[in-house]
Amino acid sequence: GSASRYDFVIVGGGTSGLVVANRLSEMKGFTVAVIEAGDSVLNNANVSAVTGYGRAFGTEIDWAYQTEDQTYAGGSKQIIRAGKAIGGTSTINGMSYTRAQKVQIDAWEQVGNDGWNWKNLFTYYKKPEEFQVPTPEQVARGADYYIAYHGEHGPLKVGWPRAMTNSSVLPQLDETFQQLGLPYNRDCNGGSMVGLTVHPNTVDREANVRHDAARAYYWPYQHRPNLKIISNTSANKIIWESDSRNEAVAIGVEVTGVNGVETIYASKEVILSAGSLRSPMILELSGIGNPDILRQFDIAVQVNISTVGENLQDQTNNGFSYEGNDFWLGSPTFSALPSADHIFGEDVLTIASDVNSSLAEYAKRVSEHSNGAVQEANVLAAFQLQHDQIFKSQVPYAEIVFLPIGNSFSSEYWPLLPFSRGSVHINSTDGSQPPSINPNYFMFGQDLKAHADVARYIRKAFSTSPLRTVVGEELAPGQKHVPENASDSIWEGWVKSQYRSNFHPVGTASMLPRDKGGVVDPELRVYSTKNVRVVDASVLPFQLSGHLTSSLYAVAERASDLIKKRYIF
Ligand code: FAD
């Protein structure tokens, strides 16, 4: 019936999807539907609590995807968390708001995505933002910023939690890192990220709740007559016009919801925003992907793009913990963002050259893993660019967060730019079955080495004054498991036995020229389709040194403008 026909159908009401839904429904006279597998979490305390990080894990709003056995990382499976709710993963994430290094966004244009550069995206980094200027008390606890980096009129509240950690911590960290040569960075959100920083969060300070995509982009706009969320409903596949010839034309989306299986029709466009582990799967179920894979499931090929679901890039996370000699209250947002120079010290040139001479072999192995779907030359070009970012541009190579809470002082860290590449593909023709996910963690020696060297760097920081006077015994990894001056193999063994996913998967429907392995063009349209786009973490061609949501909000804002330009004049 007419109730299930809209101009735009968006699959996934998550971080990116709700931005697009909000902006497209600003066009009066156009209707927008959002298909979302999850439900409202507006009144879910596991979501709203500012100090509730982790409470939603393993509950019904966590997809808790499982990877394949991780061959290069000790063999076991890993869990990759992702939000299943109106608001998506922004409802369960760590709320950190950090962008990217300027060169990382400029690289998008450099590889052929016209218009995608730092200068253009900076406008869109600011557009979503309602920056909450810190109070004098928050400034005293380390909140710091350049107002020129921030937007003040957007829907998303960005700032520091009402209760920030005791004011002594920042000077202690700063004095420690000054001795390790890492400078203080007042505001890491202007494109220059290296240093010690007290970054903002996506938080509503006054209401003292998490500010997720739903609170920012949906709930205040829920009464728009042309905007509808169809929740508790899962999209299976795109339905095509039967005589699609040169270009595939989408006419709707098959969904399974409260009324069983039905089609939601789209008169203008279908936009996939189901996340980087899900959007490629929907493409495959719809006949867009690698014919070798589609054939295994008897799916007719609509568009042959062999790289759908390839190029998966995630990071790995690990932690330290110490007894505290103090007692800390409040929510910490301290991060150290060292570059390769800081981490590798005087070995950096040797390591840069070793890695450089391994890149051809790395690229060959990635291509082999994909059964040739990914071309060796394309991966090699991407690796050379990444090598330049790490060793020439000196972008942040690791993030180290410091968590002084109660009487413990712990730290989580993750190398930001591993070379490992994996994939996500369908396992069945049933849209409700999770995909097969293989990030290939620690596929390459450098990824493991980086992990061990960052860990050494952290231990060095904790044994440098004044930080050393603030903490007591090291509980994890602990001298018993990893003694002082432990060998590479002991550190690496510990890393493999303790790591987890950092939950930052990107790249599975990359925005790149088609002959470079791209799935979407610079307007985020899937190649050889007339009216299907992907707008979510899938389209990021390369991993970033920032947490992802700030960049995803920016990409979704710019994508919305690109779409709207075609309908309003
Ligand atoms: P999502 O926000 O995941 O949206 C996808 C939506 O699609 C979901 O709502 C999902 O339910 C829905 N969906 C999926 N399949 C279907 C289907 N078939 N039919 C209908 N709907 C479907 N980033 C930061 O910036 N700061 C942090 O501190 C931070 N911490 C993190 C901590 C954790 C535990 C996790 C998991 C991630 C974290 N991230 C963080 C990463 C960041 O939150 C995600 O990268 C980002 O939210 C992903 O946005 P997205 O739009 O790509 O997808």
**Prediction ipTM score:** 1.00
pLDDT at 105 over 90: yes
Answer whether residue 284 is part of any domain: no
CATH number assigned to the domain comprising residue 81: 3.50.50.60
Ligand 1 contact, 11 CB (< 6 A): yes
Mutate to test the pocket of ligand 1, among 79, 98, 549 (most ligand atoms within 8 A of CB): 549
In a domain, 61, yes or no: yes
Residue 243: what pLDDT?
76
Nearest CA to ligand 1 atom 28: 94
* Pocket lining: 333 vs ligand 1, CB cutoff 6 Å: no
Q: What pLDDT score was predicted for residue 1?
A: 44
CB of residue 549 inside a 6 A radius of ligand 1:
yes
Looking from the CA of residue 537, the nearest atom of ligand 1 is: 52
Residues 214-230 have pLDDT tens digits of 999 999 999 999 999 99
Instruction: Work out the average pLDDT over 82-104.
Output: 98
Residue 334 lies in a domain: no
Average pLDDT of the residues in 93-109: 98
| Ligand 1 proximity of 553 Cβ (cutoff 6 Å) | no
Q: What number is the average pLDDT over the span 517-536? A: 98
Our mutation pick for probing the ligand 1 site, out of 15, 89, 125, 331, counting the most ligand atoms within 8 A of Cβ, is 89
Please tell me if the CB atom of residue 185 comes closer than 6 angstroms to any atom of ligand 1.
Answer: no
Task: Indicate if ligand 1 lies below 6 Å from the C-beta of 501.
Answer: no
**Sign of the CA dihedral running 535, 537, 542, 547:** positive
- Does the beta carbon of 418 lie inside 6 Å of ligand 1? no
96 lines ligand 1 (CB under 6 A): yes
Between the CA of 31 and the centroid of ligand 1 the distance, in Å, is 24
- Evaluate whether residue 16 is within a structural domain: yes
Question: Is 203 near ligand 1, meaning CB less than 6 Å away?
Answer: no
Whether residue 519 is contained in a domain is answered as: yes
Ligand 1 mean position, distance from CA 87 (Å): 8
Closest CA to 552 of 127, 16, 107, 21: 16
DSSP-derived secondary structure letter, 243 = T
Q: How far is the CA of 46 from the centre of ligand 1 (A)?
A: 16
Mean pLDDT (the chain) is 97
User: How many independent structural domains does the chain possess?
Assistant: 1
User: pLDDT, tens digit, for every residue of 469-504?
Assistant: 999 999 999 999 999 999 999 999 999 999 999 999
3-state secondary structure of 144: coil
Is 90 exceeded by the pLDDT of residue 246? no
pLDDT above 70 as % of the chain:
99
For residue 408, pLDDT beyond 70: yes
Residue 236 lies in a domain: yes
Please name the helix (run of DSSP H) or strand (run of DSSP E) that holds residue 22, with its range, or none.
Answer: helix 15-24
Examine residue 328 and state whether it is found in any structural domain, yes or no: no
Residue 547 falls in the annotated catalytic set: yes
Average pLDDT over residues 201-210: 98
- Which residue's CA is the nearest one to ligand 1's atom 12? 12
* Core vs surface per residue 188-214: b (16+ CB within 10 A) or e: bbbbebbbbbbbbbbbbbeeebbbbbb
83 lines ligand 1 (CB under 6 A): yes
Contact in structure between 179 and 46 (CB atoms under 8 Å) = no
Distance 259 CA to ligand 1 centre (A): 26
Domain that holds residue 68: 1-125+204-276+503-569
Radius of gyration for the chain, computed over Cα atoms and rounded to the nearest angstrom:
23
Bridge partner residues of 23 (DSSP): none
Mean pLDDT throughout 286-306?
A: 98
Between CA 485 and CA 492, with CA 489 as vertex, the angle to 5 degrees is 100
The protein residue whose alpha carbon is closest to atom 34 in ligand 1 is 93
Cα 538 to ligand 1 centroid, rounded to whole Å: 11
Could you give phi then psi for residue 527, rounded to 5 degrees?
A: -55, 140
Q: Ligand 1 centroid to 135 CA: how many Å?
A: 30
Question: From the CB of residue 549, how many other CB atoms can be counted at a distance below 10 Å?
Answer: 26
pLDDT above 50: residue 531? yes
Specify the pLDDT at position 134: 98
pLDDT band at 418 (very low <50, low <70, confident <90, very high): very high
Mean pLDDT value of segment 283-292: 98
pLDDT band at 569 (very low <50, low <70, confident <90, very high): confident
In a domain, 249, yes or no: yes
Ligand 1 centre distance from Cα of residue 178 (Å):
35
Cα(29)–Cα(217) distance, integer angstroms: 19
Q: DSSP string spanning 470-492?
A: HEEEEEES-TTTS-TT--HHHHH
